[in-house]
A and B are shown apart, each in its own frame.
Chain A
Amino acid sequence: SAVISQKPSRDICQRGTSLTIQCQVDSQVTMMFWYRQQPGQSLTLIATANQGSEATYESGFVIDKFPISRPNLTFSTLTVSNMSPEDSSIYLCSVGTLDGSDTQYFGPGTRLTVL
């Protein structure tokens, strides 16, 4: 499996501000994904980060709120815009198709608290 890192690991932000989360992989990957894990809940897919094109968002998530960049095959960013306390969550990136299978491998996550 690949080594996946995320920055920052945690942050505390004020309402109305924005935070950009970075995801770096140590090898080139085809698929990168962003998930949200709210307190006490499971993982929900936000979007698929497509290299060289716009991200594909899941129902309930919009580009204006969660803009995503994917400039190359090893890096992606997720921005949480105009934050409110309801955005407090763990944000996780994952990568897929490392070994030809459909298995996704996850980064360590970014714990975001919005005051």
Chain B
Amino acid sequence: EDQVTQSPEALRLQEGESSSLNCSYTVSGLRGLFWYRQDPGKGPEFLFTLYSAGEEKEKERLKATLTKKESFLHITAPKPEDSATYLCAVQVAGTYKYIFGTGTRLKVLA
């Protein structure tokens, strides 16, 4: 069964305290892995797409990496405005279907 698991469920960081969020997946075939940010009361905002193991993408304080079994979202020197829920989704090969993880709720304290 295709499955996506994110950890931790929740994370509290002090401003400037770097950390990583994990997304592990089991799918019959991976077409792509996607990271989104979701603020309360809003729709998910696209961050990154990763297609192959070893690929990395960066945007400001965020860097996403991909291996054959998992992806990491590294947050360097986070700020309070980085507080949000971060969602990971995988696209099953041969389909347009996304399978989402349950997300990591990040809180960055000033």
Contacts of B91 in A (CB 8 A): 102
Would you give the shortest CB distance from A73 to chain B, in whole angstroms? 16
A43-B34 contact given A106-B44, A109-B42, CB 8 Å threshold: no
Contacts of B43 in A (CB 8 A): 4, 92, 106-109
Tell me whether A42 and B34 are in contact (CB under 8 A): no
Tell me whether A102 and B31 are in contact (CB under 8 A): yes
Would you give the shortest CB distance from A72 to chain B, in whole angstroms? 19
Tell me whether B103 and A42 are in contact (CB under 8 A): yes
Q: How large is the interface on A (under 10, 10 to 19, 20 to 34, 35 or more residues)?
A: 20 to 34
Q: Is the interface of B mostly helix, strand, loop or mixed?
A: strand
Contact string against B for A residues 21-44, beta-carbon threshold 8 Å, 1 for contact and 0 otherwise: 000000000010100000001111
Docked complex Cα distance between A107 and B32 (Å)? 21
Contact string against A for B residues 61-103, beta-carbon threshold 8 Å, 1 for contact and 0 otherwise: 0000000000000000000000000010101000011101111
Q: Which residues of A come within 8 Å of B, CB atoms?
A: 1, 4, 31, 33, 41-45, 48, 58, 92, 96, 101-109, 111
For this complex, 30 residue pairs linking A to B, each with C-beta atoms less than 8 Å apart, are A4-B43, A31-B96, A33-B96, A33-B98, A42-B87, A42-B103, A43-B44, A43-B89, A43-B98, A43-B100, A45-B97, A45-B98, A58-B97, A92-B43, A101-B49, A102-B31, A102-B32, A102-B49, A102-B91, A102-B96, A103-B32, A103-B34, A103-B46, A103-B49, A104-B46, A106-B43, A107-B43, A108-B42, A109-B42, A111-B41
